[in-house]
Structure 1
Amino acid sequence: MTERPADEKDIVLAAQRGEQAAFSELVRRHQRRAYAVARAIVINHEDAEDAVQEAFLHAYRAIDRFLPDQAFGAWLHRIVANAALDVTRRRKVRDADELPETVASPFRDPAEKGELRARLTEALNTLPARQRAVIVLHDVEGYKHAEIGQMLDIPEGTARSDLHYARSQLRQVLGALRQS
């Protein structure tokens, strides 16, 4: 690809013709948002990177099945979300046999650096992966319920319900943390 087409549809068509530079441009344009989607689901940086890598590999292999009249970002983010959920499932299986190396201290000083972030991360980790994904995609990334439904392959109403449940669960968990 000698010129860099400005229109994403042209880039997708070039990638479908086998132009690797075009697919590289799609990766460049979407890698940050793809990482944010994956991170919303898996929380862990390394797992998010793995999910994004798997998703881009899957997208590369399936680019010929993509319909250029659709939004490439929405198609890709659905692949990323599915890859992240797969990573989460695999981690659950791996972690089921592992014991933690350290025991958490029963007392934590709220003045510790990053304590609020740690508590929020801990609270988010109590949620099922899909509900954690919905709350982060909606409240942090700013996606609408319909977009989240498309990404996670769930009905819009389920995305709304998951968001409600996740917020309620976080209130309970964070309230318990505040009292302790």
Structure 2
Amino acid sequence: MTSWFLGKESSSWWGQEVRCLTLEERADWEVFKQLFRKMFGPPEYINRKKQEFTELRQGKLTANEYYGRFIDLSHYYLEVAANPIEMLRRFRLGTKKKWCSMTTTTSCDSYQEFYEILLRIEDSENMPSESEEEEKDGNKRKDDKDKGQASQGLRKTQSFKRSGASSSSSNGCFSATGQ
């Protein structure tokens, strides 16, 4: 399919590559992508993506967003992506300083394990503290109490007219007359 989209050049290129590959390598999508990028990926673009990967920092990104960008950009830097120790080092390097310092006592063998720890830290930071919960509950009870008093007060002061003629008294309230 690729040769159809790209024309005869890609077809002849793939024909030459196939001669050098084993049967397993021919069927491996990752092998094809690597060879394809090497041949048809502009070096300037690849270098720019490698630079992005090198300079990637979490900043205001969530743990999921940071992890996703890290994975996407690592595909352009195959030498680093193939080294699990270097991937962990670079992932830690880009993590928020505050979160990174929280994980110093936790041992990780891979950046995926480190990512899972970041998720737990992020979840715990997003959970309301006990004092915030108590404050919310107190405000809710106060609001409910105030609403109850306001509605009771309205019921006590409302006057309803009966059918028939009514007249206004001197204090502005209506009184029922007639039937």
Task: Specify if TM > 0.5.
Answer: no
TM-score (norm 2): 0.30
The structure, 1 or 2, with the larger RCO (C-alpha pairs under 8 Å, 6+ apart) is 1
Give the TM-score normalised by the residue count of structure 1.
0.30
Larger Rg computed on CA atoms: 2
